[in-house]
């Protein structure tokens, strides 16, 4: 199993541009999550999904959108990039929810200039 994979690894955006961060897991996990990590800080939850077709907001959802059309994929969309969205983005998955181990991808480093 590849586990949780994320693309791209690094991206530079100009203010106002849009992009999609891709996340795929091959562990047949029901739950998937998007976190952001600012320098020297812990991770904050952006959005999560408990299964295909179901998504919900986390702690810091403003400026982001998600979709979950399949069990495997959970893309994160930035519509109008802002400098405050400069961060490292991690996707994670788990089988039965937050009270089970979450497995993380390698992250996408995003710089908005």
Question: By the criterion CB under 8 A, which residues form the site for another protein?
Answer: 4, 31, 33, 35, 40-45, 48, 50, 56, 58, 90, 92, 97-107
Please choose, from the candidates 20, 28, 46, 5, the residue with its C-alpha nearest in 3D space to the C-alpha of residue 96.
Answer: 28
Taking the complex as a whole, the smallest distance from the CB of residue 105 to another protein amounts, in Å, to 5
Q: How far apart (Å, rounded) are the C-alpha atoms in residues 41 and 22?
A: 23
Among residues 17 and 75, whose Cβ is nearest to another protein? 75
Among residues 56 and 79, whose Cβ is nearest to another protein? 56
Q: How far apart (Å, rounded) are the C-alpha atoms in residues 110 and 86?
A: 5
Q: How far apart (Å, rounded) are the C-alpha atoms in residues 48 and 56?
A: 5
Taking the complex as a whole, the smallest distance from the CB of residue 49 to another protein amounts, in Å, to 9
């Amino acid at each position: 199993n590849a586990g949780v994979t994320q693309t791209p690894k690094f991206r530079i955006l100009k203010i106002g541009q849009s992009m999609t961060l891709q996340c795929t897991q091959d562990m047949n996990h029901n739950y998937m999550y998007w976190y952001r990590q600012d320098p020297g800080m812990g991770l904050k939850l952006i959005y999560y999904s408990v299964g295909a077709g179901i998504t919900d907001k986390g702690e810091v959802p403003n400026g982001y959108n998600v979709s979950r059309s399949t069990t495997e994929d959970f893309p994160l969309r930035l519509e109008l990039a802002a400098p405050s969205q400069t961060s490292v983005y991690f996707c994670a998955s788990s089988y039965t929810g937050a009270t089970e181990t979450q497995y993380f991808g390698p992250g996408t480093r995003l710089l908005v200039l």
